[in-house]
Structure 1
Amino acid sequence: MPVRLDDILALLCHVSEQQKMKAAVKHSAKGALAAGACAFVGGLMGGPVGIAAGGAVGGLVGAWMTSGQFQPIPQILMELPPVKQQDLCDRVFAIIRNLDWTDATQLIMLVSGNAALQQKVAALLINYVTQELRAEIQYGD
């Protein structure tokens, strides 16, 4: 049976909604750039003391920039490039390959009815979001 991308994405969206998962993708490079730029400007304007002051201000700006806004996991999954969506779905399919389903609704019911399977899919999703997307996960509203 070919991997049905839309069905598996619907399953992942359902699992993440059930656990009220949100994620914030970290933008470390932007924060580092802001900190470095502020330190540089501070050094130009105030010498060694300016570097220290600019670095401190830049560090605060960088921390603020990298705090990230939390978005629902389904939104993040749908915005992934097709190659990453396919990679994620292939990983999930390795877990659910023995299931026989006709559409996304039936797949969701089959996985929801099996606590161990649901836990494996959720763990894979959490691992993918934190490791591959380098995002921080938040649970609840």
Structure 2
Amino acid sequence: MPVMVEDVMKLLCTLSEKRKMRVAFKHSLKGALVAGAVVFMGGLLGGPPGIVIGGLVGGLLGFWMMSGQFQPVPQILMELPPAEKRKLYNEVLAIMRHVNWDDLVQHVMQGKVSEPVQKLLAMLARYFIKKLPAKIRYDE
């Protein structure tokens, strides 16, 4: 019985959910730029004390801009267009061509970190870092 695209997407969602994978797209650069700009302005306007105050205000402003930017990977995977889902499907099949699908599903469901599971995690991380420039975070 062939493995369907939906089955692969469900497996990736389950795997990323168990690992608590979250992704932030490259908005983090904006937060850093704002924080740096506020520190610079604080230094210009207030000298050394202004740098300290600018660092505090800029850091908080950058944090506020980035809060809520990390999204759960399962949510992003399910919102991908069909062409992107198909690309992920093909990558998973290439990695798993010599692995029993049922065994792989069992490892994912049980939280086992076998070699095939590690390869899937690495492939998923590469996908988000290269295809959709993003930063990945694993919550504990």
TM-score band by shorter chain is 0.5 to 0.7
**TM-score, L = length of structure 2:** 0.60
Distance in 2 (alpha carbons) for counterparts of 1:33 and 1:3:
45
Describe how 1:74-89 pairs up with structure 2 within 5 A: 74-89=74-89
Match of 1:112 among 105, 108, 117: 105
**Aligned partner letter, 1:58:** G
Matched, 1:137 2:132: no
Q: Any conservation in 2 of the 1:40–1:54 contact (CA below 8 Å)?
A: no
Instruction: Give the superposed CA RMSD.
Output: 3.8
**Alpha-carbon spacing, 1:37–1:84, altered in 2? closer, same or farther (3 Å):** farther
Please give the TM-score of this superposition, normalised by the length of structure 1: 0.60
Cα deviation, residue 89, structure 1: 2.5
Counterparts of 1:47 and 1:139, CA distance in 2 = 38
- Deviation for aligned residue 1:21: 1.6
Count, aligned residues: 129
Unaligned runs of at least 5 residues, structure 2: 108-113
The one-letter code sitting in structure 2 at the alignment partner of 1:9 is: M
Write out per-residue CA displacement over residues 27-64 of structure 1, whole angstroms, 9 at most, x where no aligned residue. 223314533664687699x5878x85785333431133
- Give structure 1 stretches of 5+ with no counterpart: 101-106
Percent identity, please. 43
- In 2, are the aligned partners of 1:35 and 1:62 still within 8 Å (CA)? yes
Distance 1:138 1:84 in 2: 23
Partner of 1:60: 60
SS in 2 for 1:97: coil
Q: Which residue of 1 aligns with 2:7?
A: 7
Distance 1:118 1:24 in 2: 19
